Amino acid sequence: MLKVGLTGGIGAGKSEVARLLVECGAVLIDADRIAREVVAPGTPGLAAVVEAFGPEILTADGSLDRPRLGAVVFADPERLAVLNAIVHPLVGARSRRLEEAAAEDTVVVHDVPLLTENGLAPLYDLVIVVDAGPGTQLDRLVRLRGMTEDDARARMAAQATRDERLAIADLVIDNDVPLERLRERVREVWSELVRRAHAAPSGTQG
């Protein structure tokens, strides 16, 4: 098994790269999706978040009000750290269970938005960074996700810098390109991942 960490700045197009890798044959473990599952209604995770942030971060139906919680934590690094301390261990445990269920010769791709920020690179056999220029990120966030420019810039500023992400990359996928060129690059990367997966057992790669 080859354990791959996939990351990139907000708006860089990481989700599209993840989708293309799955098309190639990767098993995807999506940290964002798992993060939503571990704070679903009725979970211990949601109870812990409510205890830390108060019932006002719930919607009328008892689920997590993500925009409201996001407005709190993205403006306050200490509050963000509190949230991360609750959610990240739960996400890690669920991710490990999913990984353990995969076949031994599989390429397992962990889609981890905050891989750089949380110092998680050593957990993986190699790290792929999806890279795009800040102008491209900003355009996608405003045009495709409907964010205000100020909100988009704040979200970008809350993450690691482009240089910090590239510093931990074993492989870089440039996503300042047309979709067809992106597909070609992902296929190139997939060939490399398969080669490495078959070259040595997990834990012995670079």
- Look at residue 24 in the predicted model and tell me its pLDDT: 96
Cα of first residue to Cα of last residue in the chain, in angstroms, is 14
- DSSP letter at 26 equals P
Q: What's the CA gap between 54 and 44, in Å, rounded?
A: 15
pTM of the model: 0.81
pLDDT of residue 204: 45
> What local confidence, expressed as pLDDT, does residue 201 receive?
58
Residues of the chain with pLDDT under 70: 200-206
Q: State how far the Cα of 165 lies from the Cα of 52, in Å rounded to an integer.
A: 30
Q: Cα(98)–Cα(90) distance, rounded to whole angstroms?
A: 13
Where do the domains of the chain lie, and which CATH numbers do they carry? Answer: 1-26+106-200 (3.40.50.300), 32-104 (3.40.50.300)
Question: What is the pLDDT, as a whole number, of residue 200?
Answer: 61
Strands (E), 41-157: 107-111, 126-131
Q: Do the Cβ atoms of 8 and 132 come closer than 8 Å? A: yes
Please check whether residue 114 is in contact with residue 8, taking contact to mean a CB–CB distance below 8 angstroms: no
SS3 content of the chain, % helix, strand, coil (to 5): 55, 15, 30
Return the pLDDT at 206.
Answer: 42
Residue 34's contacts (CB-CB under 8 Å, 6 or more residues apart) are 91, 94, 95, 98
What pLDDT, on the 0 to 100 scale, is given for residue 199? 80
Per-residue model confidence (pLDDT) at position 36: 93
Residues 9-28: tens digit of each pLDDT: 999 999 999 999 999 999 99
